[in-house]
Amino acid sequence: MKEFWTNVLQALGLAWWVEVTTESPRCTYYFGPFTRESLAKGSQKGYVEDLEKEGATGIKVAIKRCKPDRLTVSDDASDTVGRMKPPLFSGQS
């Protein structure tokens, strides 16, 4: 039932997401969807820790309702596909 409700909220653009931006590499990551803002807030620490372990710097977090088309958006023109391993996220369910 929880998955059904999450899918409904996501379809309507009302699901909560953790948006993490990093300066290096210059990326935006989306983690979610979550049915409640409190659940998203409770998960953000694990995502940040995983990115720090991968060497990311300049990390900023926002909790928002949105409907991202991509979960990882790289803004770094010097980033070459396949050059960096994608981060492993222990907190994502």
The pLDDT tens digits of the residues spanning 21-70 come to 999 999 999 999 999 999 999 999 999 999 999 999 999 999 999 999 99
Residues 6+ apart with CB under 8 A from 36: 16
Is 0.75 topped by the overall pTM? Answer: yes
84 domain residue, yes or no:
no
| 90 assigned to some structural domain | no
Question: Which helix (H) or strand (E) element contains residue 74?
Answer: strand 72-74
What is d(CA 88, CA 70) in angstroms, rounded to the nearest whole number?
17
In a domain, 93, yes or no: no
- What is the domain range of residue 62? 2-74
The DSSP bridge partners found for residue 17 are 64
